[in-house]
Amino acid sequence: MCLSIPSKVIQIDKERNIATVDTMGVTREAGLDLMEEGDVCIGDYVLLHIGFVMNKIDEDDALESLKIYHEILEKLDEEERRNIVLEDDDCHNRSR
């Protein structure tokens, strides 16, 4: 399942056209090839799909979504929590 958890951009490598993002405490790299140059800045919230930033989202909407995800995660055990966040990386490998 691809959850599209809002991720905060914490670093941008312009040479490689890659953003480092924080997704609920998990950092990962995501390609910026599908975005216009300069559209994504450090501190922005974005949604990822198959390893690429697909779009930028409003900070208030991102924070509200993250609040709801945290409420859901509180009901799960530690391993289930981490798996949900990490599964977002593999959503392109899952059959629909």
Which domain CATH number covers 65? Answer: 2.30.30.140
* CB-based contacts of 84, cutoff 8 Å, min separation 6: 3, 73, 76
How many domains does the structure of the chain reveal?
A: 1
| Residue 88 falls inside a structural domain | yes
pTM over 0.85: no
| Residue 85 falls inside a structural domain | yes
pLDDT in tens, the chain (96 residues): 466 889 999 999 999 999 999 998 999 999 999 999 999 999 999 999 889 999 999 999 999 999 998 888 788 777 776 777 677 555 544 433
Domain housing 71: 7-93
| Residue 1 falls inside a structural domain | no
